[in-house]
Amino acid sequence: MTFRSEIVVCPHIKDHILPKSAPLFTPVLIVGCAIIIVSFAIRSTFGVFQIPIADEFGWLRAEFSLAIAIQNLAWGIGQPLFGALAEKIGDRKSIVLGAVIYALGLLLSAGASTPIEHQLYAWLLGFGIAGTGFGVILAVVGRASSAENRSMSLAIVSAAGSGGQIFGPPIAEWLLSFMSWQATFVVFAIAILAILLTLPMMRAPAMATKTDLEESLKEILGKAFRDPSFTFIYLGFFSCGYQLGFITAHLPAFVTELCGPIMPGGMLDNMGISTTSALGAVAISLIGLANIAGTLLAGWAGKYYSKKYLLAGIYTARTVVGALFIMFPITPTSVILFSLAMGSLWLATIPLTSGLIAHIYGLRYMGTLYGIVFLSHQLGGFLGIWLGGRMYDVYGDYTLVWWIGLAVGAFSAIIHLPIRERRLEGLQTV
């Protein structure tokens, strides 16, 4: 005789007994990463064009540096604007508009022959980066992610920006080996438009209503602006922008001109990196590669340790790494070591800074507050890029502006210490 037993699960509690884990890699996350990769790949290449453009027209280094600086400033101004636009017309329409503006800026820059033209079109490039960058993409990915996966999803998207930085500069250097910089800009314009073909897969839950968004925005902005901790976060993020902007725009040229020769038959030469120009492009890629691990590690550490002390430690480490690099002879080995070390600290500030804002002021208006703080970041980037070109023209090298960047980083490490890392009273948490 055979006995069979069954466990009958009540339909009303079945889902509670057998919960289904939400997938981490959703179509929205995949598409968001793809857009960020292409957008940031192009953004990270402009330092590679410093010397080719200056040599062709006989410009001072400050001319194209100012264009890159304006681009960063426009990115900072455009991020909260595109965030608001996404709330009004939808995420995908906002991304399409950003990509079209980005492509238009690239095409117009390809035909530019004066500094004023490059500096004017840089506004389009900056707004294009804002429309296809972190501000819009992080918001849509965050809404489409489950609560348990949201933190890791945002970290993955942030790391994807470094993925673009890995591939962008070497691709630009490779394209420049057989085509003009003008044609390279056209290729980049086609690439940013082509990525729009993935947008049909990007579907996220509807956003809050306009009434919900406006309910207490004025109140939280007033409280944040009166809170010294918000001021400290704002000022601290300025130095991050200064350092990232300066290094992205000027490190390729810095390495090209100051690095010792690459040994024929050595490891780098055998890998096809036979010139310091190529090494300068690879240095930006190595920063992006190391940053993937650094960003994910910072996001994990921020769950368990004080975010303000982690940020202070990151800025201190940047200062030490930068000082050691400039104090010793610049060699291919030191360039590689510097790139890997600085890369591990590169965007590690983003999950910690945004997490600190969310922890103190809540999640409901985190996007607005982070957008304001990010503007400080881009103001720092503007100064670092422009000052780098200006001081190069005056002194013939980057030494002084490099030390200024280290001083700014040390200031940021100190100013994070008095932040009160606890929720501000009287604020809503959603």
CA distance 202 to 118: 33
Can you give the pLDDT at residue 363?
61
Question: What's the pLDDT tens digit per position in 184-231?
Answer: 999 999 999 999 998 888 776 555 545 445 446 677 778 888 889 999
Question: What's the pLDDT tens digit per position in 30-80?
Answer: 898 999 999 999 988 887 888 888 888 888 877 888 888 889 889 888 887
Distance of CA 149 to the CA centre of its chain: 21
Can you give the pLDDT at residue 303?
75
Can you give the pLDDT at residue 260?
86
Can you give the pLDDT at residue 364?
65
Judge contact between 301 and 293, C-beta under 8 A.
no
Residue 124 has pLDDT above 90, yes or no: yes
Range list for CATH 1.20.1250.20 in the chain: 24-202, 217-429
Helix (H, G, I), strand (E, B) or coil at 318: helix
72 contacts: CB under 8 Å, gap ≥ 6: 126, 241, 245, 378, 381, 382, 385
Judge contact between 150 and 142, C-beta under 8 A.
yes
CA distance 219 to 330: 52
Residue 4 has pLDDT above 50, yes or no: no
Question: What's the pLDDT tens digit per position in 262-319?
Answer: 888 888 877 878 888 888 888 888 888 898 889 888 878 887 788 899 999 999 999 9
The pTM of the full predicted model, rounded to 2 decimals, is 0.75
Q: Comparing 318 with 7, which gets the higher pLDDT?
A: 318
CA distance 419 to 360: 10
Which amino acid is located at 59 in the chain?
W
> Does the domain formed by 24-202 have CATH 1.20.1250.20?
yes
Token pair 């409280």 is found at 223
Residue 6 has pLDDT above 80, yes or no: no
Helix (H, G, I), strand (E, B) or coil at 65: helix
Helix (H, G, I), strand (E, B) or coil at 357: helix
What would the two tokens of residue 118 be? 């490059």
Local structure of residue 339 (DSSP, 8 states)? H
> Does the domain formed by 217-429 have CATH 3.30.450.20?
no
Question: What's the pLDDT tens digit per position in 85-113?
Answer: 876 787 888 899 999 999 999 999 999 88
Residue 389 has pLDDT above 60, yes or no: yes
Instruction: Mark out the alpha helices in 177-275 (DSSP H runs).
Output: 181-194, 210-214, 217-226, 228-258, 267-270
| Average pLDDT of the chain to the nearest whole number | 83
Q: Comparing 264 with 143, which gets the higher pLDDT?
A: 264
Weakest-pLDDT range from 10-14, 169-173, 200-204: 10-14
